[in-house]
């Protein structure tokens, strides 16, 4: 069992060397895409929630 774990960790280390890591500019760009997407979706959900609350109030108040 310890040999298998050691072999696995060695393979992980070798695989990590082959990975093409993004540079700082790419990470920054992807981060902004995520932030903007989250804000847009949050605003959309907020507006839909507000409309549903008002609709329910109209239905339940009568």
DSSP label of 20: -
Predicted local distance difference test score (pLDDT) of residue 10: 94
DSSP line for 3-50? HHHHHHHHHHHHHHHH-----HHHHHHHHHHHHHHHHHHHHHHHHHHH
The average pLDDT across 40-48 equals: 98
DSSP label of 55: H
* Percent residues over pLDDT 90 in the chain: 92
pLDDT beyond 90 at 5:
yes
Long-range contacts formed by 40-43: CB under 8 A, 24+ apart: none
The average pLDDT across 33-47 equals: 98
Q: What is the pTM (predicted TM-score) of this model?
A: 0.68
């Amino acid at each position: 069992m310890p040999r298998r774990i050691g072999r696995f960790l060695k393979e992980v280390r070798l695989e990590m060397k082959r990975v093409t890591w993004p540079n700082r500019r790419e990470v920054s760009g992807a981060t902004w895409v995520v932030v903007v997407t989250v804000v847009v979706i949050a605003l959309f959900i907020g507006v839909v929630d507000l409309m549903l609350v008002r609709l329910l109030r109209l239905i339940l108040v009568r």
